[in-house]
Chain A
């Protein structure tokens, strides 16, 4: 059974810092990995999707890497801003043609101090 772990569970940093969020998964047979952002009381917003054959994806100040063989992914946020405050969730999709629901970690609650 796939398990996804996110470290740290919570993080508070001053505005302007670069930071790294970590995600690990136990089964390397994944099709892709997605990073999501969740604001309080809201749904999930997809930030980045990395296919299993890729090593990284970038969008603006966000960069996500994937090391499938070691079961790890990182989300790098450059020059953090107060608007980045949210919960960040990592999720993996299994390899295979059948069920492909995502398995999520518990998330990292991020606070950027002005």
Chain B
């Protein structure tokens, strides 16, 4: 079974530029999550989708971050404009269902963003 795919793996941009990350979850997984992991910290949830609807975006900085999951499969996360403090690893995760062991989250390799 293929895992969660993310691209690009690395991205370097200057502050005030825009950037987009892509995630393809495990086939059949209805729930998709984006997390931000700053160096030395644990991941922090940015947004959760159930199919193509948003369940939780309470920690997403909506003035500069946006995310979509149009067909309930792939998702993109965008930052515009980027700030220095956005330098982090952006992790995508997915889960099959919301209950029982099927709620286990599986993570992709992440996209490492450096803002200069």
Contact = CB atoms under 8 A, between A and B. Distances in A.
Interface residues of A, number: 27
Given A34-B104, A97-B98, A44 B91 contact: yes
B44 interface: yes
Nearest to B112: A41
Main secondary structure of the interface of A (DSSP, over half): strand
A76 interface: no
A99 B55 contact: yes
Contacts, number: 64
B98 A107 contact: no
Interface string A39-55: 00111111001010000
B40 A106 contact: yes
Contacts of A64: none
Nearest to A105: B42
Interface string B70-106: 0000000000000000000001010000101101111
13 contacts: A4-B42, A43-B91, A44-B43, A44-B107, A93-B103, A97-B98, A98-B55, A98-B56, A99-B56, A100-B31, A102-B35, A106-B41, A107-B42
